[in-house]
Amino acid sequence: MRVPRFGVMMPAVSEASYSDADVRRTLARYARAVSEDRLHARYWRTYGEGNCSGGPYDWAVRFHAAGKRILERALMAANKVGKSETASAEVAIHLVGDYPPWWGGRVWTRPVDAWVGTCTNGDQKDGMQEKLLGRPGQWGTGWIPKSAIDFDSLKLRQCGVSDVVDTVRVRHKSGGWSRLGFRTYEMGRTKWQSTDRDIVVFDEEPPEDIYYEGLTRVGVLRGMVLCSFTPLKGATKVVRKYQKGGEDVFTLIVGWNDAPHLSEEYKAKLRASFPEYMLKARTEGVPMLGEGAVFAVDEAAISVDPFEVPGHFRRIVGLDFGYNDPTAAAWLAQDADADVWYVTNAHRKEGESPVYHAETIKRGGDWIPVAWPHDGLNKERSGGACLKDRYLGHGLNMLGMSARYKSDVGGRQPVEPALDEILEYMRTGRFKVVRTLREWFEEFRGYHRKDGKVVGSNDHLMDATRYAWMMRRFALTQTSATMARPSHVRAYDPHRAYKRAS
């Protein structure tokens, strides 16, 4: 009888009579058949299908399916959930051109050219190479079926590490030969310059220049880029690209809760061994924030639905000037009765003039006081008149002094006092943010400390929020602002006007 299991047929066994030795030989033949065709044995049915205890989880099926139309995909995942297994299995499927019944992703009916990238030669040998081809001396026990590998074409790399594969051919279902090549990040960007490829896979996060070189390789053939990594480097440019998303970008974050094969005991032991600042990255697949998030609160706890700001709310805008970076503005509003502050709107734009930003900010209410940093007084960086005056000239209600804690102490201000106050308000339910402000939350997620100091990268809206917070004592309602601001005066000191109104 021949019994199918996971796509591999059990060797025939006589039902009349057989000895223990026959059984052992039969099982050995079956085990060998499974090891030499893991793809069909372990990936042809999904997890839970027909009581199957192996196979891809639901999230892996979704990740594969996204490849049908998406150019760039990232699987940002916790440790030990199966991210590299998922990525390598997809590469093998495309190389052989044989697709599982459940497959909803892209299908190639011709041979493909694929590159798989890893950090080092050692990482390649022990990681993706083993998953795809098997261990040296056991070639053909990885995801690529042994019968599909052209062993005569297998070339090793001279790199100081033994048995590191450079290229190999794989038989495609159409009858032609797919080509698999390996690259490492330690080779440098120039080694990634070559002819076009259908598939480029990055196992663990690549440097930005190598990522875009790989992306360039698949552009002409309209291929695909596939990343699988635990985001231990924090909010890098590659990570932010995937966090930002887009029409041709897909990101899937997978944590321990998505991996039933991990026991609670095993997870508890691992969790106890990780530093606290690594926990989210290693257990949830959330980008690591250095030594810790500046605002260590649950995002959902500070999020509110969009609402029309009532007229009696006090309001202020924080403005962060951009030079080579984006210019950003954050609108704050206070329900004075409950002492709750809301971030109601946000603006972030790179490469535009002061008049563009001024007009954008005025559309949110030209009467609202605008807080700004001390570098707005720098004439050299703004080319003539200081930036504060240029924005004032374009009709913004600029406060008469730069952002500061005490009115009589100007210049550069310490960062931490404002951040500590905002965090305290967040923890006590008195600082909320409209949940649709995608760019604000993008920065919020990556805002972190390293070596005890706030990392000043991709923090433009965070800075704008901080400036508004520092000057919140000058926030006004629309009625009080109209009374305090003479209609015939364009350039004025709203700080002084506020004092008169109060």
Structure tokens at 257: 């809760």
* Cα–Cα dist 210/312, whole Å: 53
Residue 328 and residue 133: Cα distance in Å, rounded?
Answer: 50
Residue that is written with structure tokens 């709750």 in the block: 340
Among 111, 66, 109, 108, smallest CA distance to 87 is for: 66
| Cα–Cα distance measured from residue 469 to residue 419, given in angstroms and rounded to the nearest whole number | 9
Active-site residue, selected from the candidate residues 204, 205, 284, 443: 204
The three-class DSSP label of residue 449 is strand
Write the DSSP symbol of residue 12. Answer: P
Using alpha carbons only, how large is the chain's radius of gyration in Å?
29
Residue type for 455, please? V
Integer angstrom CA distances of residue 156 from 124, 125, 173: 12, 11, 25
Dist CA 391 CA 79 (whole Å): 49
Cα 155-156-162 angle, rounded to 5 deg: 160
> Which tokens belong to 62?
């979704």
In this structure, what are the phi and psi dihedrals at residue 296, rounded to the nearest 5 degrees? -80, 70
Separation between Cα atoms, residue 120 and residue 298, nearest integer Å: 36
Beta strand pairing status for 327-335 and 314-320? antiparallel
Q: Is 186 a catalytic residue?
A: no
Structure tokens at 141: 């026990």
Q: Residue 425: how many CB atoms within 10 A of its CB? A: 17
Q: List C-alpha distances in Å: 5 to 33, 140, 480.
A: 11, 20, 77
E strands within 275-434?
A: 292-293, 303-304, 314-320, 327-335, 340-349, 370-371, 431-434
Closest CA to 465 of 346, 377, 366: 346
206 and 238 Cβ atoms separated by less than 8 Å: yes
Residues 6+ apart with CB under 8 A from 257: none
Residues known to be catalytic: 204
